[in-house]
Amino acid sequence: MIIALDGPAASGKGTLAKKLAAHYGLGHLDTGALYRAVARDMIDAGKALDDEEAAAGIAQQIDPASLEDPELRTAETGAAASHVAKLKSVRAALVNYQRKFAERPGGAIVEGRDIGTVVCPGADVKIFIEASTKVRAERRHKELVEAGQDISYDEIHAQIAARDELDRSRTISPLVPAADALLLDTSDLGIEAAFKVAIELIETNR
């Protein structure tokens, strides 16, 4: 079974994807980490984020072992990721990687922005997560403060709103639910409640 899980920044899809992967025994790929890794490597190499040739070269050589780097989780890397994510050849290289992962025996849950629309349009179940900007900013702020980062709620709110705007308005693979995606609004749901609803959606639609 392939499950596509899409949604905006800090919508809770990462936590939900991990729980669903454990529940169903599926492989799990956080595709945002791939875009974050390209952004990190571009910054480390001193490249401008719109240098498409350099970014495409980096995207073709992603090292899966480097996806656990805590540096990927910073707000700065997230913001930089949405800039490299606009580049056509970066997306092409990373989509290749993602499709190979999704086709593994035993199935996978793949989370991102364009999984149901572009990466795995034939996924068995597509879920699109939503949550208000306020709730997402609160969640992400709590997470970053707990991880020891010194950043204000207002700054996080502004970053999330800016990232949403970039992700929704870009011409290639914008953040938009697939026509056959099931919508799950987690604004008023804790993780356990969201997990329960997701299981119900999967069981009735797989």
- 31 or 186, CB closer to ligand C5P? 31
Indicate the residue among 174 and 197 with the shorter CB distance to ligand C5P.
174
Shortest Cβ distance from residue 149 to ligand C5P (Å)? 15
CA quadruple 48, 50, 56, 61: dihedral sign? positive
State which residue has the least CB distance to ligand C5P: 32
Q: Which is nearer to ligand C5P, 9 or 123 (CB)?
A: 9
Output 57 or 78, the one with its CB closest to ligand C5P.
78
Nearer to ligand C5P, 96 or 200 (CB): 96
Q: What's the min distance (Å) between Cβ of 139 and ligand C5P?
A: 12
Residue ranges in contact with ligand C5P by CB under 6 A: 9, 31-32, 35-36, 78, 81-82, 85, 112-114, 163, 167
